[in-house]
Every structure is written in structure tokens, then in C-alpha cells.
Structure 1
Amino acid sequence: MISHRLRMRPERIQSGAKPSTTSIGHAKTMKDSIGIDISKATLDVHRLKTGETAQFANSPTGLRALHRWIGTQMPDIVVYEATGAYHRALECSLSGKLPLVKVNPLQARYFAKACGTRAKTDTLDAQMLATMGKSLNLSPDMPIDKDQHVLKELQVARKALIKERTRLGNREKTQTFPLLKRQSKARLDQIARQLMQLEEALLALLKQSPKKARAFDILCSIPGLGPVTAMTILVECPEIGTMTRKQIASLAGLAPMVRQSGQWRGKAFIQGGRKFLRDALYMPALVAARYNPDLRQKYQTMTKAQKPAKVALTCLMRKLIELANALIKQDRKWLPKTA
């Protein structure tokens, strides 16, 4: 019964029933929203305005068939979940051609439960994504850069090598048999060479884009941010320079979450956001606490006020990403404040 009510909801709007003006997220006119549930092999599609459903192969041929199925009548939004490697082909093929909106799978599931839907099928998930796009009045994402997926793939490979280097380094300290020690040292030397090659490839790919090259130079001008951190920020946060202070802090998971209920006041904490972006800012915050004059003063003020060191460092991490966002937006390098 629940899924039946969800299917009937768009039909009532199309028949001329006026949506309540007090309802959250309801537009005055029906938004043509398409939901796509992505799996390894298939794409399940639901068009909310007409109630049509279809299934296509998650392959170049299937994506071309999907584009033809959508037709010449451009939808307002096409909503899909982030599914790792499985949504990459759709993004590469249709970004810039369709108004794509990528949503967090957990938020999509919470939305389905809020609508009273407990069942979970690919067809129903596609329908719920289309409903979510219309109900929350989502806006299309910016078209992705053609090199973004390659940059991300290189970055993932680099992080994997760093983890392996850490494991091997810890293991080498406890090894006593000469053969094992020689093999560990040989592998560590190989990892060092491979990391250098990956970083050179990342930098070369970033430098091919004048916009990214300029952003890289701006990031490197900030005391505390080195080339590796600058590359990580540009790969993990390609939207930098287009958001407000609160948006960039929230995206990095550095905006404090306030907890209050009645007279109870809980401690604020950080949560969510892009973990790899947040991790990349930790060591630069430690460096900035000593060598960045503005942030060093902020850190000392907080520690003198008996704030925990981790809280002060988290504040510096947020200041760094906000500063980076502001400088890229203004297209200027960091300059020390004059007395």
C-alpha cells in the first residue's frame, strides 16, 4: 500500500490538485524528475512526471539507450546515488548533457523511510530518488571535469600505497630473518618510486588545466599547505572556490554540530563530510599552528582559553579550508597582513 500511494502522488499533482503551500519542498508546478538506481550490471530508471519505468545495461550501449529513452524533452533533474565505481560511467557519459544530481545513499534511504517506505527494490529505489529530487527541490550539480575521474583514481592509488608503506614499515621493525628484511626493504623502495610517479602524474594532469594550475599555485602560497596537500584538496574537493564559508566547512566535515533539546545543552562535535579532505588538513594545521602568523595567534588564543588542543587544531583545519576557498574564489595568492 505504501508504494502504491507513492506512485499515485505524482498523478494527483498532474490532475490539477493544488499542492499545499505549507508543505516543505513542494513546488507550485510539477518538476520533471528522473531517478536512476545504479547497480553493477543495470540502470533502473523512473520518470516521475509520466510514471514510466525502464531498465538499461550499465554499459556504453545501455547509456546511449538511456539517453535516447529520455528523449529530446530535457528533464529538470536526474537523480542518482553515489555508488563508487558503478556510477562513474554514467557521470562520464552524461555529465553536461543531462542535469545530473548525485545524492548520498544514506540520505536517500532516510528519505525513503521518512516517506514510510520500508521495502527496497531497484525499481522502488529509482522511484524514491525521483520523488526525492522533486520534494527537496534539488538543483543540478556542476558538470564534472573530464579529467576528474582520472585524478580521483590516481589519488586512490596513492592512498593505497601510503597505507601499504605504513604496514610494511611497522612489520619491518619486528622482522629478524634476513630474507624477510631484504624483501620488505625492496618493497618499500618500490613503493617510494611508485609514489613519486603517481605524484608527478597528478601534478602534470592538474597543470594541464589553467584553472586548476592557478588554484594549485594559490593553495601552495598559504603557509602550512604544501604541494601534496594542495593536490589532495583539488582532487577531493573540485568545487572549491564556488562555495560559501559554511558550505566548504560542512563539505569537509569541519562544521560543529550543535546538540540542544529543551534545557539540555550537549557538546558540539564535527561529523560527516569528506573524510579524506578532512584528513589531508590535519598535518597542515599542525604546521600552521607554528608558522602561519594569523593561525598561530588563533591557536594560542584558544589554548590559553583552556580549549583542548584537538579542538584548537580542528578550528585551524576549518580556517585553512575556508581561507583556501576564499582565495581561489577571489583569484589571488595569500599575502601576510601588513602592520
Structure 2
Amino acid sequence: MMKDTIGDDISKDQLDAHRMSNGAKRRFTNDTVGHRAFRVGSVKPRPSMACTGPSNAGWTWRGAALVKVNPRQARRFAEATGKLAKTDRMDAAMLARMGALLELEARPVRSAILNDLKDLHMTREALVKNRTAARNRAKKPNLGHPQATQHRATQADRASDDRDRKEIMLLIKNDPDLAGRFDILVPIPGLSAVTAFALLIDMPELGTLDQGQAASLAGLARVARQSGAWPGRAFIRGGRANVRQALYMPALVAMRFNPDLKAKYDQLKAAGKAPKVAITAIVRKLIVLANALLTHGGKWEPSLP
């Protein structure tokens, strides 16, 4: 029997819901009042929600299996079923159908502390981007931005960044589970506290996956492309780009200070692999290593690859 599924298309001001079992549809405001009304009308029978858009604590209530759908995959599903038109109500109906037919697996609900950490982490990332842009502008003073103004803006961003970093560290240290996971990640050569923040916040599933799942979730798994006589090539695609970006510089450091990863990089280069391909392999090994250590609860040792 097909599960009762509610498709939920979320926009800034409203959300459209469509129930698969009876075709019922309704629009709610995207605020506390709308969230409460949605919950009251959805708890019996227990729904599996396939939703796009921000999925925050407003959706975390007992009895609901939440499935957050990649918008690109949702659009491709709609086109594959012949639905070319796109409206919020149609998207909600399509999401309900997608969740029911594909039996999408619900992801674990984020805890309140992870939601807070995510907000702080996103704020900090925005500050880092602003500071980088300000430094680039400072190199061209003829663009109408006085250097003194740019310097003050950069200093303010740096101070805010320091405050956010300390607050993130405090939240992690006050949570026994996160503190233990943090202490496992930081000793890995190349992984700073900031990188550990990114892994804990943006990939909380680490430690519950096998190595293939960990690489795939980060978008670092090799995806083969082959057709007919063309032997094809393997690429990486999809996954969480912010995790890959967070691990790129640590991979460069690990290539120098982790003997096992340095040997792996040299081996790939000797085999004729392009530098970026070799670096990607090191990034993949880092995420697999972090996942393995979190799975077994042990800290990095030089004998581990």
C-alpha cells in the first residue's frame, strides 16, 4: 500500500501542501501561525513530507517523517512524468507523488543546537566572503572606496567573525556528543577547528555511513560516464559543495604533513593523474577517514591512511 505523503513547496512567505491519499491541497503562511495550522491538519495519519526550501525547526514535530528533496531532482522528476508547467501548487502535488512513488528515505531531524550552529556558521561564512571582497577592493583604491572605510569594514567583519567562532566553539563544548566528535576530528592532520565546525554542522551524518555513502554525500564519489564504444571517464558531481570547499585547503595541508596521504598523492602523480584529480582523491580520503574515526570513536594515528 502506498504511503500517505504530503508534498510541501516552501517559499519565503507561504507554503503549499498537497496530500497524496485524497488530493487535498491547502496554502499556509510561512510563519508560526501557518506552521501550527499545518501541523494540526497533518498529524493523522502520520505523513511523510517531501519538501523543498528551508526546512527548519518549524517542521520538527513528533510523528512526521521529513524528507528534504533536492530541487533539481524534483524538477527532473516532474519533467520525466510529462509535467512541464511549474507553479507552487503543482510543485506540491509533484513532491507528494515523488515521495510516494520513490519511497524517499527520511533524514534524521536536526536538533535545536545544530540549527543554532548552522545559523552561526552561515553568518560566519558570509562575513568571511565580505572580508575577502573588501581586501580585493582595497587593492584598487581608484574605485571610489576610501581605504580607511574599507579597513574599518574589514576590522568589523573580523571582530564579528571572532565572536561567531567563539560562540560556535562554546555551543559545541557544552554538548557532550558534539564535543566528543570535535575532539576526534581536530587531531587529523590538516583539519583545523573551523574545518571541524563545517563537518559537524554541514555533514552531521558522518559516523553513521559507510565509506561509499560518505564520499557520495560529499559529492566526492567517482561517477562513471560511458556509452557505446566510448570508454568514458569518471567524474565527481552532486553532493554537498560546502563540505568539499571546506576540505580543499585541509587536503593541501594533509598532502604535506600526513605521510600516508602524501604517499598517495605522489603515487597518483606518478601514475600520470592531473594535479586536481590527485587533490580530489585526497579530499575523498579525508572525508572517508573522518567518517571511519567517528564511526569507531578513535582518534587519528600516524599508521592510519
Q: Provide TM-score, normalisation by structure 1.
A: 0.85
2:37 pairs with 1:65: yes
Is the CA contact (8 Å cut-off) linking 1:96 and 1:144 kept in structure 2? no
Amino acid at match of 1:30: M
CA drift of 1:176 comes to: 7.3
Match of 2:107, SS state, is coil
Match of 1:267, SS state, is strand
1:44 counterpart (7, 16, 29): 16
1:79 counterpart (42, 50, 56): 50
1:296/1:312 CA distance change after superposition, 3 Å:
same
Q: Could you tell me which residue of structure 2 aligns to residue 249 of structure 1?
A: 215
Amino acid at match of 2:15: L
2-side partners of 1:183 and 1:63: how far apart? 43
1:265/1:275 CA distance change after superposition, 3 Å:
same
Is the CA contact (8 Å cut-off) linking 1:36 and 1:43 kept in structure 2? yes
1:191/1:39 CA distance change after superposition, 3 Å:
closer
Runs (5+) with no aligned partner, structure 1? 1-28
Match of 1:243, SS state, is coil
Match of 2:266, SS state, is helix
2-side partners of 1:123 and 1:171: how far apart? 44
- Structure 1 stretches of 4+ moved >6 Å: none
Match of 1:70, SS state, is coil
Q: Could you tell me which residue of structure 2 aligns to residue 25 of structure 1?
A: none
Residue by residue over 1:119-168, the C-alpha shift from the partner in whole angstroms, topping out at 9 and shown as x without a partner, is 22222211111110111111221111112222122112111111121122
1-side partners of 2:140 and 2:39: how far apart? 57
Runs (5+) with no aligned partner, structure 2? none
Of all paired residues, the percent bearing the same amino acid is 44
2-side partners of 1:127 and 1:138: how far apart? 15
Is the CA contact (8 Å cut-off) linking 2:32 and 2:58 kept in structure 1? no
1:224 counterpart (172, 190, 206): 190
Of residues 135-144 and 95-104 in structure 1, the stretch that sits farther from structure 2 once superposed is 95-104
CA drift of 1:197 comes to: 0.9
1:329 counterpart (285, 291, 295): 295
CA drift of 1:205 comes to: 1.4
2-side partners of 1:272 and 1:185: how far apart? 38
Q: Could you tell me which residue of structure 2 aligns to residue 130 of structure 1?
A: 96
Q: Could you tell me which residue of structure 2 aligns to residue 150 of structure 1?
A: 116
Amino acid at match of 1:231: F
1-side partners of 2:277 and 2:255: how far apart? 13
2-side partners of 1:245 and 1:210: how far apart? 25
2-side partners of 1:181 and 1:46: how far apart? 54
The count of corresponding residues between Structure 1 and Structure 2 is 304
2:184 pairs with 1:184: no
2:246 counterpart (280, 283, 287): 280
CA drift of 1:253 comes to: 1.2
Find the structure with the greater CA-based Rg: 1
